Structure 1
Amino acid sequence: MQTIKWKRIKDFPHYLVSSTGEVYSEYKQGTLKQFNDAYGYSQVNLNRHSKKVHRLVAEAFLPNPYDLPEVNHKDENKNNNRLENLEWCTSKYNMQYGDVERRSFLSQTRHESWKVYQYDLEGNLIKIWKSAREAERNGFNRRSVGRCCNGELKQFKGYIWSKERR
């Protein structure tokens, strides 16, 4: 059984990361809750900054003598952030690693677009967009439209946005 090692996180001196992928806060005196980003990677909030856990582990424990830009999960499990599962690599290597076809299919289905309904503030339907990306091409911020569709914002740019017809 391997010993768990802890190191301070660069630029965040009151946080430590372990070789097993846990993040400890001296403020809260405990490990931080991790959440997945839109792509399935584990993240934590450090002083209101979202940081990917695999990157924190790699930066703390893995030497990077060739200054490689990306961190690969050897077993392709984005939530397995143990030191022995990570390696520094090039973007090309990372893209071609493992089961590329399966990952590509999952990525496409995960990011499948949905229709976006735009209403005025009185609830009158203005337009049906094929996707938030289409609304973005017409001058609306895609993330803000998405946040409205997910219930995080009530309105954006004077409009109500929804995934479903009201």
Structure 2
Amino acid sequence: MAEKEIWRPIKSYGIDYEGIYEVSDLGRVRSLSRLDSNGRPIKGVIMKPNLNKPYPEVSLSKNAKSKTALIHRLVADAFVEGHFEGARVNHIDENKQNNRADNLEWVTVLYNNTYGTRLDRVSNANSIPILGISKYTGSKIILKNALEAEGLGFSSAHISSCISGKLKQHGGFIWGKLDYSTYKSALTWLDEMID
């Protein structure tokens, strides 16, 4: 038997959308059938979320003003007890697409930033071997990760921006990532050169 979906009016981001939009405990958003400002009928529909962002979102409109709204926030505001000043919404299963009310909880910023496997995922992202090539001399720097570069006076954030293509260079070096086997081969070669 299919579970019963519960719908509630959206009251989020300081705006009351009652009579215009509703959100369900299963993480869906719908517009309601109503008349527009000229008296023409508008048919209600289940809204398709924008999935091109880290968190699914929808665009809500009232009085000719649009607001992009995160679906997990809409669900939490409507269904999850325990909101407090400065609270963040945490996905219990760490799946940003799962916006069911029973998968959401209000937490502190610190708890949200250290929840589950987040620290491991961030750590893994910072453990990609990198190569820096001097724009001026062509000399190369091979590092275990972007964080290691901070010990040499470089910014790991700027190096990451170079690797992702947002910056062309940082600190006079062009930066790129290495696959792990190339990194290990370079270390072996350096060890042989030193011996």
* TM-score interval for Structure 1 and Structure 2 normalised by the shorter chain: 0.5 to 0.7
Distance 2:60 2:100 in 1: 19
Q: Distance in 2 between matches of 1:89 and 1:4?
A: 25
Q: Which residue of 2 aligns with 1:53?
A: 71
Q: Aligned pair in 2 of structure 1 residues 130, 28: CA closer, same or farther (>3 Å)?
A: farther
Q: Over residues 116-137 of structure 1, what are the superposed CA-to-partner deviations in whole Å (9 max), with x where a residue is unaligned?
A: 6xxxxxxxxxxxx549xxxxxx
- What amino acid is the match of 1:35? N
Are residues 72 and 115 of structure 1, via their aligned partners in 2, closer, same or farther at CA, if it must alter by over 3 Å? closer
Larger radius of gyration: 2
Indicate whether 1:101 and 2:119 are aligned. yes
Residue in structure 2 matching 1:114, options 155, 165, 181: 165
For 1:22, the equivalent position in structure 2 comes to 28
1:73-92 equivalence runs, <5 A: 73-92=91-110
Which whole-Å CA distance do the structure 2 matches of 1:24 and 1:94 have between them?
A: 28
Task: For 1:20 and 1:12, locate their aligned partners in 2 and report how far apart those are by CA, in whole Å.
Answer: 19
For residue 7 of structure 1, what is the aligned residue in structure 2?
A: 8
Runs of 5+ unmatched residues, structure 1: 117-128, 132-166
Contact 2:76 2:105 in 1 (8 A): yes
- Matches for 1:53-72 after TM superposition, within 5 Å: 53-64=71-82, 66-67=84-85, 69-72=87-90
Q: Rate the CA distance shift 1:57–1:28 in 2: closer, same or farther, 3 A.
A: same
Count residues with an aligned counterpart: 118
Q: Distance in 1 between matches of 2:124 and 2:49?
A: 22
Partner of 1:43: 57
Taking the aligned partners of 2:165 and 2:71, their CA distance within structure 1 comes to 30
Structure 1 runs, 4 residues or longer, greater than 3 Å off: 65-68, 105-113
Amino acid at match of 2:30: Y
Cα pair 1:43 1:52 within 8 Å, conserved: yes
Question: How much has 1:101 moved relative to structure 2?
Answer: 3.3
Change (3 A) 1:44 1:115: closer
Contact 1:114–1:130 at 8 Å: present in 2 too? no
Specify every segment of 5 or more residues in structure 2 that has no aligned partner in the other structure, as ranges.
33-41, 129-159, 171-195
Separation (CA, whole Å) in 1 of partners of 2:125 and 2:97: 16
Q: Is the 8 A contact 2:47 2:58 kept in 1?
A: yes
CA distance in 1, matches of 2:29, 2:166: 38
CA contact (8 A) 2:56 2:96 kept: yes
Secondary structure of the residue that 1:2 maps to in structure 2?
coil
Contact 1:73–1:87 (Cα < 8 Å) also in 2: yes
- Structural RMSD (CA): 2.7
Relative to the length of structure 2, the TM-score reads 0.53
The percentage of counterpart residues that share the same residue type is: 37
Distance 2:10 2:125 in 1: 30
Conservation of the 8 A alpha-carbon contact between 1:17 and 1:24: yes
Distance 1:93 1:37 in 2: 26
